[in-house]
Chain A
Amino acid sequence: DAGVIQSPRHEVTEMGQEVTLRCKPISGHDYLFWYRQTMMRGLELLIYFNNNVPIDDSGMPEDRFSAKMPNASFSTLKIQPSEPRDSAVYFCASRPTGGGTYEQYFGPGTRLTVT
């Protein structure tokens, strides 16, 4: 298995532009999580989906952030308009319903820089 795939790996954009981050979970995993990592705030859970349905979006910082999961193999996190304080590494993770340990499998992350 290729693991969780995220694209792009790096994104540099100007303030005010729309940014879309993409994630392909591991096949058969029905939970998908979006996290943001910064030096100041550590690892923050933004939103998670179960069977393509958003379950908890309480971590989404504000209305500029939105996430979708149109099917079991694809999810997007969109920031519109972007601001410099959104600069961070964004991780996508997935896991199956069973498995015993509830281990999450992380993608390599997208490093976002907003200038």
Chain B
Amino acid sequence: GEDVEQSLFLSVREGDSSVINCTYTDSSSTYLYWYKQEPGAGLQLLTYIFSNMDMKQDQRLTVLLNKKDKHLSLRIADTQTGDSAIYFCAESRAGGFKTIFGAGTRLFVKA
């Protein structure tokens, strides 16, 4: 079946690194995503990784993929108060007809 699981809450201090974890069940997943939802807004794609990659870095963001364990993580370096949001892990297969979203991790950044 298709399922994406992630922890619901994470609290970090400003300037620390945040690591948000996710597991998925569909071994045929081709694309894995992190979406960000700010208060009162819709989801917006933050970053993505193809399933044939192990890591992707984009400025303060690092995505790690362990395909064997079906584990995806998002690391935010030097976390800022503006990073406070809900982060959704998601996956889709080739063709991408629909995307399966996790429940979202609410990140709190304390000043």
Cross-chain pairs A/B with CB under 8 angstroms, 12 sampled: A31-B97, A33-B98, A43-B103, A45-B101, A50-B97, A91-B43, A95-B96, A101-B45, A103-B33, A106-B42, A108-B40, A109-B42
From B31, B42, B48, B92, give the contact of A108 (CB < 8 A): B42
Contact flag A103-B45 (CB < 8 Å), given A42-B104, A43-B88, A43-B104: yes
Give the shortest distance, in Å, between A41 (CB) and chain B (any CB). Answer: 8
| Complex contacts, B97 vs chain A, CB 8 Å | 31, 48, 50, 55-56
Determine the interface band of chain A, counting residues with CB < 8 A from chain B: 20 to 34
Nearest first, the 3 closest Cβ-Cβ pairs linking A and B are: A102-B96, A106-B42, A42-B103
Q: Is A25 an interface residue (CB 8 A)?
A: no
The answer to whether A102 touches B42 (Cβ under 8 A) is no
Give the shortest distance, in Å, between A38 (CB) and chain B (any CB). Answer: 10
From A31, A48, A55, A107, give the contact of B42 (CB < 8 A): A107
Determine the interface band of chain B, counting residues with CB < 8 A from chain A: 10 to 19
Per-residue interface assignment for chain B, residues 28 to 58, with 1 indicating a CB less than 8 Å from any chain A CB and 0 otherwise: 0001010000001111110010000000000
Q: Is the interface of A mostly helix, strand, loop or mixed?
A: strand
Q: Is B99 an interface residue (CB 8 A)?
A: yes
| Complex contacts, B31 vs chain A, CB 8 Å | 101-102
Q: Is A69 an interface residue (CB 8 A)?
A: no
Give the shortest distance, in Å, between B49 (CB) and chain A (any CB). Answer: 10
Q: Is A93 an interface residue (CB 8 A)?
A: yes
In Å, the complex CA distance between A91 and B43 comes to 9
